Amino acid sequence: MFPADVIVGGVKDGQTYFKDYHTTAHAPPTVDQSQDWFLIAGKETASGTILTFVRKLNTCDTADDIVITADTTRVIFSYHPDDVTSGIPYHGATRRGAKSVMLLSSSLTADDVQLPSDIVTFDFLADNYHVPSDTTTYACKTFQLPALGSKHHMIKYEPIITPGNELNVHHMVIFRCPKHVLNHYEFRCDNYTNTPKEVADCMIMSFIAWAVGGKTFYYPPDVGFSLGTDADPDFFIMETHYDNPLARSDIVDSSGIRITMTPTLRTHDAGLFLFGMSVSSMHVIPPMETDFLSKVICSSKLLEKAIPAEGIKAFAILQHSHLLGKEMATRLYRNGSELKPLAVDKHYDFNYQDMRYLSEERTIYPTDTLELNCVYDSSHKRNITLGGLSTHDEMCEAFILYYPRMPIDYCSSFPLYNTITNDVAHIYSQVKSWDWADPAVRAKFRSAVENSLYYQHTFGDTYAFMANTTSKDNSAAHPYIEPPDTQCQHISGSTQDRK
């Protein structure tokens, strides 16, 4: 359990014991000099021991405590059958566990939302799909929304996962089609060349994005996604990514997503904006790197073509990468300076991805620039990793929920590696044979990415809105600096004062 902020506690003979520890190595924890966790209650029942305790988010005890942030937090736990009042014996190989959580999640729950009485639901579900024994499968299925008769707002969506398949259904994206489609299809969509031509235009306009670990999502009380009008989609494709690392051939799945709609309209029509690296061999991650940074840029030259002068309001975000993903951040620039990022996750977990509310709505103006940072740990790899659909390929994407809806659905970019080659389409063939074990080679590639021009491309409904530009990354000029925690500036060194 290293590095970790640790609590050891229990109940013995009706008396609660409780103490604040920390770890300094892969060894038994050490008692904190400053006891900053405080016990509220403890009891022992027939089913186990229950402890309730509290701590400041930032105790200012930087030597021993970890600051609690809005990042993904890895909670680890262990327990022992005997009371531990002196010394800490090993808990055993089976009495332990770990879970990623959002300790500061601001997501709405059923207790926060009063749904209207006139709701209707529709299910996008697989139908006893026999998952291939391939380690990665993308399966697509089309759906026709029943006639609603009038404008409705989608105000909620929730995953429905076939019991036993929780770890195999990795993510689902529902795309909306810009036109009515006559036929229905089920097809493998690992390779976009397999997509029927009639629905090819559908695979760029996202409607719902869900990933493993995600829960039910409720739209804010004044926002909904418009359905039911002549201008709204009624034909959809659900893309399901199955992760099958054991290459099983016995997985049968009927998972999907249920949407909840209402004719009781809300004030604003929502949109979903997909912002990411081109999913292709132009996304290159070198091996043997602990913190390799890939950037995605969507500049004001593109945003100004679609965002209204008063801006759009972003209220939630889902950041997505694959197995090498370590950190992610969606950054915002205005007038040459970086503002507070929309979202930062320094502890990205491939198996815990959720649409997360922003702590406050953020306005994005047409003169702003968006940047997505994906940090990868490829230290265990010996060959380069490319962008792609497989779990073992990589992605760098952010799905941003916002209002009011604008005509841009997607903005992608990729580095042109212009200091390496003029033939960017064949960048992989240029670098695949490099001696990546040589630190100088890896430094050369990092420099090429850092100094690269970026090609950027946006599009919207039926490709009616398309634009592209090429620009250089200027984000380092005036980076955002997190303000210091003022409560820690006046803390003296004494234990009592720190409390």
Tell me the CATH number for domain 112-268: 2.60.120.310
Q: What percent of the chain has pLDDT over 70?
A: 95
Band (pLDDT 50/70/90 cuts) for residue 249 is very high
Active-site hit among 268, 320, 376, 410? 320
In the predicted structure, residue 84 carries a pLDDT above the cut 90: no
Lowest mean pLDDT: which of 200-204, 205-209, 235-239, 371-375? 200-204
Amino acid in position 11: V
Rounded to two decimals, the pTM is 0.91
In the predicted structure, residue 160 carries a pLDDT above the cut 80: yes
Other CB atoms within 10 Å distance of the CB of residue 4: 13
Which pLDDT value is given to residue 463? Answer: 47
Catalytic site includes residue 320: yes
In the predicted structure, residue 315 carries a pLDDT above the cut 60: yes
Which pLDDT value is given to residue 492? Answer: 45
pLDDT mean over 425-453? 94
Which pLDDT value is given to residue 497? Answer: 42
Active-site hit among 129, 138, 454, 455? 138
Band (pLDDT 50/70/90 cuts) for residue 477 is low
Region of residue 86 (phi > 0: left; psi between -120 and 50: alpha; otherwise: beta): beta
Tell me the CATH number for domain 270-499: 2.60.120.230
Task: List C-alpha distances in Å: 61 to 35, 54, 448.
Answer: 10, 15, 40
Tally the C-alpha atoms within 13 A of residue 180's C-alpha that lie toward its C-beta: 8
Lowest mean pLDDT: which of 81-95, 149-163, 216-230, 284-298? 81-95
In the predicted structure, residue 185 carries a pLDDT above the cut 70: yes
Higher pLDDT, 499 or 125: 125
Q: Name residues whose C-beta falls within 8 Å of residue 159's C-beta, 6 or more positions apart in sequence.
A: 169, 172, 210, 214, 215, 216, 255, 256, 257
In the predicted structure, residue 208 carries a pLDDT above the cut 50: yes
pLDDT mean over 230-258? 96
Tell me whether the CATH fold assigned to 112-268 matches the one assigned to 270-499.
yes
Which pLDDT value is given to residue 465? Answer: 62
pLDDT mean over 393-401? 97
Which pLDDT value is given to residue 109? Answer: 80
Which pLDDT value is given to residue 474? Answer: 64
Eight-class DSSP state of 87: S
The Cα–Cα gap between 177 and 417 comes to 34
Band (pLDDT 50/70/90 cuts) for residue 491 is low
Q: What is the pLDDT of residues 102-137, one digit of tens each?
A: 888 767 888 888 899 999 999 999 999 999 999 999
pLDDT mean over 280-294? 96
CB 273 within 8 A of CB 172: no
Higher pLDDT, 378 or 424: 378
Which pLDDT value is given to residue 493? Answer: 45
End-to-end C-alpha distance for the chain, whole angstroms: 25
Q: Hey, which bits of 311-437 come out as E strands?
A: 312-320, 325-334, 337-338, 343-345, 356-364, 369-376, 385-386, 397-403, 410-415
Cis? peptide before 341, omega within 30° of 0: no
Higher pLDDT, 55 or 478: 55
Q: What is the pLDDT of residues 14-53, one digit of tens each?
A: 899 999 999 999 888 999 999 999 999 999 998 889 999 9
Band (pLDDT 50/70/90 cuts) for residue 383 is very high
pLDDT mean over 344-357? 92
Lowest mean pLDDT: which of 172-176, 181-185, 249-253? 181-185
β-bridge pairing 223-227 and 268-269: parallel
Task: List C-alpha distances in Å: 437 to 293, 380, 382, 421.
Answer: 18, 12, 8, 21
* Domain ranges, ordered by start, for the chain: 5-101, 112-268, 270-499
Query: Mean pLDDT, the chain, as a whole number?
Result: 91
Which pLDDT value is given to residue 498? Answer: 38
